[in-house]
Structure 1
């Protein structure tokens, strides 16, 4: 029991600070052929956590003293994020450089205040799960996109980058729907569409269909689609 409590303490600290990578403004597209070959691109912003002040963020002092709660808090965050400290710009810049060295991350520019401009692209085949982004050093990951192939030949695509934000129970009057990220996700596929909650239109190529989700038209539920690959 003591070991479990010891492990959960820094995990709770990480959750409270919101030290996760989340989307900002972006344009993303995924093209999936009937046989499961795909191309994916994300261009836009990624933020560390959430810079809004009304989401329960925990404030720390600028110069935490050794052994203080703030020091323990920052050490817990670093332990769960491979050394990334959102209060230390040097570790953030090093994180950006390490990201850019990975395959697919064409450019990663740190703009300050936890904001990155990124250009990411990758290709492959959906014979296994595809997630974006994947942070091996992060104990907690927030995949903005997940494409999960299943044994029945279908693939479920979930776009958490545009999922609705949690409702604020304290607000009064009708609220304007908002999404986690601010952008557009486009799925282009020649595979049959089993189901989707996105807007569907014909593609430029015969047999191709386009599914689109946008923060300009906030979804009521997490965007997703299920397609069926060719046997």
Structure 2
């Protein structure tokens, strides 16, 4: 019974991890990021460091792993003492395993098509997928350098400047119908700009609402099938400089003097209390 429970738990964990990977495509690793906002509407944003594409990582491989050999579960008598399994019991276990394997294969086929749609046609199971994504990023404005390091990890250098006559989000990827943003700039009618950095939030909360699901799933997988894969490291800094009026922010120290006007700074890791947020009034 214990082994049957573990088999069920491991199967449920794989499903949970697959859902989490689908919902949270990108996550920051070690990074430095900065945003500069000018009262006349000019802005510049930089991100230098790691980005992990979870769909190309060992986490995804774990979610797609298949048990290739049938291993019978233990059988017990009415006193819960282990005993040899009967032929009929072994046959029933084997049938259940075959049914689960077929259902798992069907589920993986569906999830593969869904993931390809989320990745703009890129097949994450293809050996060429990682470089195909890197090539797609390199041809977009702002991506100065994109280097693939393996296990879904990219080291990037992004820098973009412009005018805030529109909202802004990072990262965006060509042909991706959706990508969870690390940072969002939202213009308001009164001339202020709201800065939200949900992707820079704590690993257990605001930055990634699916991390708790992933952690629980991997814990079950580790208990049921050996060592679970580790979550990516999250460690970075985010700084805002501006000559505008800082109306609100959630830094520990508030606005500090800076040659560029004022500075807001966050040191970010898994222990951070909340995702960075600020409200800055621009205009003459």
Q: Which consecutive residues of structure 2, in runs of 5 or more, have no partner in the other structure?
A: 1-15, 69-100, 206-211, 220-231
Residue 135 of structure 1: how far off its partner (Å): 2.1
Judged with a 3 Å threshold, the aligned counterparts in structure 2 of structure 1 residues 14 and 99 are, in CA distance, closer, same or farther, namely: farther
How many angstroms does 1:120 deviate by?
A: 0.6
Q: How does 1:24-173 map to 2 (within 5 A)?
A: 24-49=29-54, 58-61=63-66, 68-166=106-204
**Does the Cα contact within 8 Å between 1:100 and 1:107 map onto a contact in 2?**
yes
- The 1-side partners of 2:233 and 2:162 are apart by 27
Q: Which residue of 1 aligns with 2:97?
A: none
Counterparts in 2 of 1:84 and 1:90: CA distance versus 1, 3 Å? same
Query: 1:78-120: per-residue Cα shift (whole Å, max 9, x none)?
Result: 0221123333331121110111111111111111000001011
Within 2, Cα distance between the matches of 1:79 and 1:25? Answer: 28
- Once the two structures are TM-superposed, the CA of residue 218 in structure 1 deviates from its matched residue by 4.3
Cα displacement string for residues 131-184 of structure 1 (whole angstroms, at most 9, x for unaligned residues): 00112422331110101110011100011232123365989xxxxxxx983200
The verdict on how the C-alpha distance between 1:26 and 1:111 changes in structure 2, with shifts beyond 3 A counting, is same
Residues 173-225 of structure 1, C-alpha deviation per residue, up to 9 Å, x if partnerless? Answer: xxxxxx983200010001000000024311024xx000011125943222100
- Of stretches 111-120 and 219-228 in structure 1, the one that deviates more from structure 2 is 219-228
Q: 3-state DSSP class of the match of 2:128? A: helix
Structure having the higher strand fraction is 1
Aligned length: 208
1:212 matched residue in structure 2 = 265
Give the 3 Å change call, closer, same or farther, for CA 162–32 of structure 1 in structure 2: same
Deviation, 1:74, is 1.2
Q: Tell me which residue corresponds to 1:183.
A: 236
TM-score under structure 1 length normalisation: 0.78
Distance 1:158 1:52, change over 3 A: farther
Alignment of 1:20 onto 2:25:
yes
CA RMSD of aligned residues (A): 3.2
Q: Distance in 2 between matches of 1:14 and 1:192?
A: 44
Cα displacement (A) at 1:44: 0.4
Q: Which residue of 1 aligns with 2:281?
A: 228
1:203 — aligned with what? 258
C-alpha deviation, 1:52, in angstroms:
8.2
Bigger RCO (CA 8 Å, 6+ sep): 2
Q: Which runs of 5+ in 1 are unaligned?
A: 1-11, 172-178
TM-score (norm 2): 0.64
Q: State the structure with more CA Rg.
A: 2
